[in-house]
Each structure stands twice: as C-alpha cells, then as structure tokens.
Amino acid sequence: MADRLFGHAAELGFYFLFALFPTLLSASSILGIAARSANQIYTKLLNYLALVIPTAALGTVLATFNETTAAVTSGKMTFGLIAAIWSASVGISAIQDTLNVVYKVEDTRSYFRARIYAIALTIILSIIFTLILVCLLGGDYFATLTLQHPYNRFLAIIAAVFTRLLGWSLASALLALSFAVIYYWAPDLKTRHWHWLTPGGAVGIVGWLLASLGLRAYLYFFNNFSITYGSLGAVIVLLTWFYLTGFMLLLGAEINSEIEAAAAEKRIPVQSPLSSQSGPAQHM
C-alpha cells in the first residue's frame, strides 16, 4: 500500500494496452507472411495466445490482427517493427519507473540512456517470448510426428508426452528468465545481483498464471461485461487482464525488494555503546 502497487499496476495496464496494437501490427505482418505458407503455425500461435488472454477480449485482439494481416507488405512490416519496438519500449519505460518506486531508488539515468535501456530490454524480451513460442510449437510438432510414425504405440505415447512436457518446461524456464531480466535491468539499482529465479519471480509467475485462469473462469460463469459496458466490454476485459499482469509483476518485485532490504539490515554491523566505550578504555 505504501508503494501504491495498485495505482502503478493501473498505469502499467494502460501502457500495455497502448503498446499492444503497434505490436500486433508487426506481429501480423510477420505471421501473415508465415500464414500464407504455414497455416498450421498461424493457428497454433493463436491457440497459445488464447491460453492466457480472456476469451471475451481475444475476439477484439483477433479482429484487429486479421484486419492488419489482410494487406501485408514489406514496407508495412518494416514500419510495424519500428513502431512496435518504440511503443513497447514505452511500456518498458513505465516498468522502469514503477520498479524504481518499488525498490525505493531514484533513477539517475538520463532520458536517452533510460530509453536505450528500455529499447534493448524490449528486444531481449521479444527474443525470449519468441523462444517460448518456439518451445511450445516444437514440443507439439515432435509429439505429433512421433504419434504419426510409431514403431511401438506405447513407447510413442510416452515419447509424445515427454516431448510436450519438455517443451512446456523449457517455456516455463524462459518465462522465469523474462521475469529475472526485468527485475535485473529495469530498475536503476546501484548494485545488481543476478538470480535465475527469485522468490518474487516465482510468486509473480504463479500469481499471473492463476490470475489469468481465474479471470477466464470468472468470465466463463459471470460474463456480464457486455451488459455493463456494452461494446466496450471486450476492451475493459483486456485492460483488466493487463492490470492483473502489471500487478503481479510489481508484486514479485515488491517481495524481492523487501527480502533484499531485510537482508541488508542483517548485514549492517551494529556497534553497541559498551563496545564503543571499550576502545578508549583499552587504549588508556
């Protein structure tokens, strides 16, 4: 409450929404080209997207996705990539500001230096999320390939399950890596310590997955957003999901910040009054 996590999560949710559609512009350009030659990849990517985005909001996202994919050109793809990186870096800049508040540090970086950090972090996270999709797609592809040409049906089923578990395990590890990268590079910490998985990162990842599934379950049984907000219901749902995403990211950082602060207090040597007086007495 002291660090205003709920307010900063709302700020992140707005910036995430602001960065979504330029990102979709470049993603649709690239995937639109791939969709013409590999429709199965296109469909599976959308299915993976549907695992975390609420169904009510997914329709709006896909409608924009299909509209921008209808006329794919190389110039549009180039402009989309530049716009996506710049707009997404605005969201990363918001993460930098909010994490500085959580870690109780003042950002001493200049505007351009902080923006360069944000753009570099955007590119790194884009690569990580691409690798996550590659792991998920690769696991499904090799599992399907194993089941289509089995030498032994029982062994083929075991190999398919193992392959899918391996793909999801690698994707989970990369998701943890993305949280670690954000917590390491985004705030302007004077001393940085790299950790592959922190307590805050674990809470943030698990909390984000549970919050996404909980929101989906709520909308499945109590889908009254369209009654309350009309045609804006899907946008409200999407903004709510972005808000939960930002809150879980900040909650993990808050946990790490408090743990590090407590550890720092234990490392500070506290000199008692008796020990301070014993020095001169011994000297005499």
87 within a domain of the structure (yes/no): yes
The torsion angle over the Cα atoms of residues 128, 133, 136 and 139, rounded to 10 degrees, is -90
pTM for the model stands at 0.70
Instruction: Provide the 10 A C-beta neighbour count for residue 85.
Output: 19
Largest Cα separation within the chain, whole Å, is: 90
CA angle 117, 5, 98 (to 5 degrees): 15
Domain range holding 150? 5-259
Q: Is residue 61 a contact partner of residue 24, using CB atoms and an 8 Å limit? A: yes
- Identify whether 280 is part of a domain: no
In a domain, 281, yes or no: no
Whole-angstrom distance, CA of residue 130 vs CA of residue 120: 15
Q: How far is CA 227 from the centre of its chain?
A: 30
Q: Give pLDDT tens digits along the chain (284 positions).
A: 777 888 888 888 888 777 776 666 655 555 555 554 445 565 666 666 666 666 666 676 667 666 655 655 555 566 666 777 777 787 788 888 888 888 888 888 888 888 888 888 888 887 887 788 778 777 777 777 777 766 677 777 788 888 888 888 888 888 889 888 988 888 888 877 788 888 888 999 999 889 888 888 887 777 666 666 666 777 788 888 889 988 999 999 889 888 887 877 776 554 434 344 444 444 44
Ramachandran class of 230: left when φ > 0, alpha when ψ lies in -120 to 50, beta otherwise: left
Work out how many domains the chain is built from and give that number: 1
Residue 276 lies in a domain: no
CB neighbours (10 Å) of residue 226?
A: 14
Look at residue 138 and tell me if it is in a domain: yes
Q: Is 264 domain-assigned?
A: no
Domain-embedded: residue 180 = yes
In a domain, 99, yes or no: yes
